[in-house]
């Protein structure tokens, strides 16, 4: 029995998403240069020709991975996660500045549980001379959204009375990126929930009620100091 146009559309969307997710996972495991089209299509369970059909080639697939990261980044600035269980719902646009700032922090750190392979790939792309140009080109494609996201965060700091909202936004991004980078290096041994609560305290925000999904609330005075280790 022939499939309907709607069934065909859904099948194409599933294949496209499967290829994109497989590329993220394989790039994270083997690096951009070490990953082959056969590796990616084998992980996705589709024919090798599907990469050219949906993306045009390996470089365009890398670009699509970067675009996925930018979509996640812009969602974080709005306090919105991508396919991740949230510790709390996204705040309204007119919510107090403290509520919106807490949501940005929690969304950025909460995404590490579901998007760490994607973040690992993009960090490598940013740093490697052979692929940095691809990242820079993607940044230009999304420059309007990036600037709007930066301005939204700077607006929060302006509402909080910061003397230099632009620098506050840059430093917040630096802190959150640093935590993500540590999670990439140290994995589950990195105390993500404790780091999240440290950031909340640093910005004078209320103590979170619930831990981020996939983490546990630190036990006060447990006598067990966290130690991040790469060997595990």
pLDDT digits (tens, 9 = 90+) for 140-192: 999 999 999 999 999 999 999 999 999 999 999 999 999 999 998 898 889 99
Q: How far apart are the C-alpha atoms of 68 and 51, rounded to whole Å? A: 16
* Residue 61 confidence (pLDDT): 93
Q: Please tell me which residue, 135 or 5, carries the higher pLDDT value.
A: 135
Say if residue 83's pLDDT is above 70: no
* Residue 100 confidence (pLDDT): 93
Q: How far apart are the C-alpha atoms of 87 and 76, rounded to whole Å? A: 13
Please give the C-alpha separations between residue 182 and each of 35, 141, 189, 227, in angstroms, as whole numbers: 24, 28, 10, 12
* Residue 232 confidence (pLDDT): 53
* Residue 223 confidence (pLDDT): 59
For residue 36, what are its two tokens? 């082959």
Say if residue 88's pLDDT is above 90: no
Using one digit for the tens of pLDDT, what is the confidence trace for 190-215?
999 999 999 999 999 999 988 988 78
Say if residue 222's pLDDT is above 70: no
* Residue 81 confidence (pLDDT): 59
For residue 73, what pLDDT band results from cuts at 50, 70 and 90? Answer: confident
Using one digit for the tens of pLDDT, what is the confidence trace for 33-50?
999 999 999 999 999 999
Domain spans in the chain, listed from the N-terminal domain onward: 1-56, 59-217+225-232
- Read off the pTM: 0.81
Of 21-35, 55-69, 81-95, the least confident: 81-95
Q: Which listed CATH number (3.40.50.970, 1.10.10.60, 1.10.1200.10, 1.20.1440.130) goes with 1-56?
A: 1.10.10.60
Say if residue 120's pLDDT is above 70: yes
Q: How far apart are the C-alpha atoms of 173 and 167, rounded to whole Å? A: 10
* Residue 225 confidence (pLDDT): 81
Under CATH, what is the fold of the domain 59-217+225-232?
Tetracycline Repressor; domain 2 (1.10.357)
Q: Please tell me which residue, 7 or 179, carries the higher pLDDT value.
A: 179
DSSP state of 67: H
For residue 35, what are its two tokens? 């990953």
Of 80-84, 111-115, 172-176, 201-205, the least confident: 80-84
* Residue 96 confidence (pLDDT): 94
The percent of residues above 90 in pLDDT, for the chain, comes to 56
**Cα of 216 vs its chain's centroid, Å:** 20
* Residue 65 confidence (pLDDT): 93
Task: Identify whether the C-beta of residue 79 lies closer than 8 Å to the C-beta of residue 91.
Answer: yes
Q: How far apart are the C-alpha atoms of 131 and 111, rounded to whole Å? A: 24
């Amino acid at each position: 029995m022939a499939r309907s146009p709607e069934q065909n559309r859904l099948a194409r969307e599933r294949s496209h998403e499967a290829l994109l997710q497989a590329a993220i996972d394989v790039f994270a495991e083997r690096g951009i240069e070490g990953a082959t089209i056969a590796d990616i299509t084998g992980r996705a369970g589709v024919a090798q020709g599907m990469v050219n059909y949906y993306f045009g080639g390996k470089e365009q697939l890398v670009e699509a991975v970067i675009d996925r990261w930018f979509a996640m980044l812009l969602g974080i600035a709005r306090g919105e996660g991508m396919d991740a269980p949230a510790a709390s719902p996204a705040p309204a646009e007119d919510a107090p500045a403290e509520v919106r700032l807490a949501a940005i922090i929690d969304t950025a750190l909460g995404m590490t549980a579901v998007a760490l392979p994607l973040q690992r790939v993009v960090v490598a792309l940013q740093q490697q001379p052979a692929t940095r140009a691809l990242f820079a080109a993607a940044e230009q494609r999304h420059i309007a959204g990036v600037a709007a996201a930066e301005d939204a965060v700077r607006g929060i700091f302006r509402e909080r009375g910061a003397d230099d909202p632009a620098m506050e936004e840059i430093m917040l991004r630096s802190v959150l990126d640093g935590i993500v980078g540590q999670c990439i290096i140290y994995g589950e041994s990195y105390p993500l929930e404790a780091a999240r609560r440290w950031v909340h305290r640093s910005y004078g925000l209320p103590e979170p009620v619930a831990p981020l999904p996939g983490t546990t609330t630190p036990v006060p005075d447990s006598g067990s100091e966290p130690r991040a280790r790469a060997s595990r």
